[in-house]
């Protein structure tokens, strides 16, 4: 692999090879509809407004790539999208730069959850119960129905990851969203979650990439699945009518932008994050994909039709579970290992 220290470089990622130039601010996202929305709402407009050329490339979310860069000192990424479960651990491990919020935005303009020492929350997404109305009789609502294979026969799609599945299992077992993390912090609660997953195991079809969730619903491989709400909305816009969402007990979470430790472009990276978090940048993003803004003014400025499809609108968020970032920072390694062993049996 060539170095970004040369005139240009090929970045080898899951999506193939992307040409980036040495003077580009390199932003990294999860690809798909999320990556495309970031390009349109943030990357291209930032380049036009600032005069700083910015490139957008995609990756799988593997933090080992960031660790390898920071360890070697050859940091070729400048702004990287990560999931909330990686924020605390990556910050503790020194993988990310500490942000200078005075150069980004007033913290009071954002949802409190979006403000962190090493990361800036950029949008609110939800893990929802998505289903194929043609393959189920009635309307599933909440995770108890997801487990009810007698009332709603058929396969269930679930992401092959501990994150969200532990919380979903407890809600399916009757734990109120407000109590999920209190229960999950106990040994008994964690055992309870795995016992509940055992019940559904014969009916689970695993998915790994976000685009797979709507695909297996449309194909009829599963009758319902956990899914990221933006993926389902994007598929609906493309004409897939065999998709529907239950917002009941959705799990609201944030994605974050971080700046890898050792980048030569920290100042430019903070300016890019500032653009993404501005009212205009946030509104533009939420008008392209159904993920909610963290900028308070942007949320208030959206029309009702857009709000109806956002996870942090008043209606859709009324019984949501808001992810506890600190829980996964403290317990993620142990639970991830146990889940991997369980899923491979």
Which residue is it, tokens 């978090």? 277
> 275 with 120: CB under 8 angstroms?
no
Give the integer Cα–Cα distance in Å for 28 and 78. Answer: 8
> 77 with 69: CB under 8 angstroms?
yes
- CATH class of the domain defined by 126-252+320-343: alpha beta
Mean pLDDT by 10 residues, the chain (345 residues): 31 40 88 93 97 95 94 96 93 96 98 96 97 95 97 97 96 97 98 98 94 94 96 89 92 97 97 98 96 96 93 90 91 94 94
Give the integer Cα–Cα distance in Å for 121 and 39. Answer: 17
Residue spans of alpha helices (H) in the chain: 32-38, 44-50, 63-72, 84-92, 143-147, 165-172, 180-184, 187-200, 212-218, 229-237, 266-277, 279-286, 296-300, 304-307, 325-343
Choose among 96, 121, 87, 159: nearest CA to 330.
87
Give the DSSP per-residue string, 264-289: TTHHHHHHHHHHHHSHHHHHHHHTTS
Which residue is it, tokens 């993003």? 285
The reported pLDDT for the residue numbered 157 is 98
Give the integer Cα–Cα distance in Å for 65 and 44. Answer: 25
Give the integer Cα–Cα distance in Å for 338 and 212. Answer: 24
Give the integer Cα–Cα distance in Å for 280 and 292. Answer: 13
The reported pLDDT for the residue numbered 242 is 83
Q: Dihedral sign for Cα 35, 299, 260, 90, please.
A: negative
Give the integer Cα–Cα distance in Å for 142 and 81. Answer: 29
CATH number for the domain formed by residue range(s) 8-124+254-307: 3.40.190.10
Q: CA-based angle 242:211:69, to the nearest 5?
A: 165
Residue 341 C-alpha from the chain's centroid: 24
**According to CATH, where is 3.40.190.10 located in the chain?**
8-124+254-307, 126-252+320-343
């Amino acid at each position: 692999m060539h170095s970004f220290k040369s005139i240009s470089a090929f970045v080898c990622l899951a999506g193939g090879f992307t040409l980036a130039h040495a003077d580009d601010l390199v932003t990294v996202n999860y690809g798909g509809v999320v990556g495309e929305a970031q390009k349109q709402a943030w990357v291209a407009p930032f380049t036009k407004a600032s005069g700083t050329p910015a490139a957008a490339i995609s990756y799988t979310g593997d933090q080992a790539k960031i660790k390898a860069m920071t360890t070697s000192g050859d940091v070729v990424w400048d702004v990287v999208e990560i999931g909330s479960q990686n924020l605390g651990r990556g910050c503790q491990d020194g993988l990310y730069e500490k942000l200078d919020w005075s150069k980004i935005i007033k913290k009071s303009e954002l949802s409190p959850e979006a403000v962190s020492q090493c990361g800036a929350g950029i949008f609110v997404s939800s893990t929802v119960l998505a289903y194929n109305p043609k393959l189920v009789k009635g309307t599933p609502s909440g995770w108890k129905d997801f487990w009810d294979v007698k009332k709603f026969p058929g396969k269930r799609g679930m992401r092959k990851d501990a994150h969200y599945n532990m919380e979903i299992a407890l809600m399916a077992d009757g734990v109120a969203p407000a109590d999920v993390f209190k229960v999950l912090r106990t040994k008994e609660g964690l055992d309870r979650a795995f016992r509940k997953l055992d019940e559904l195991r014969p009916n689970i079809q695993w998915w790994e990439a976000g685009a797979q969730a709507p695909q297996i619903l449309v194909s009829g491989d599963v009758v319902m699945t956990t899914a990221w709400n933006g993926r389902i909305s994007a598929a609906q816009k493309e004409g897939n009518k065999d998709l529907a969402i239950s917002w009941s007990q959705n799990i609201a979470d944030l994605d974050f932008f971080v700046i890898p430790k050792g980048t030569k472009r920290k100042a430019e990276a903070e300016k890019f994050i500032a653009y993404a978090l501005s009212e205009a940048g946030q509104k533009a993003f939420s008008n392209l994909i159904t993920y909610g803004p963290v900028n308070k003014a942007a949320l208030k400025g959206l029309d009702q039709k857009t709000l109806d499809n956002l996870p942090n609108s008043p209606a859709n968020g009324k019984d949501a579970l808001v992810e506890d970032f600190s829980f996964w920072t403290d317990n993620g390694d142990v639970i991830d290992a146990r889940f991997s062993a369980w899923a491979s049996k």
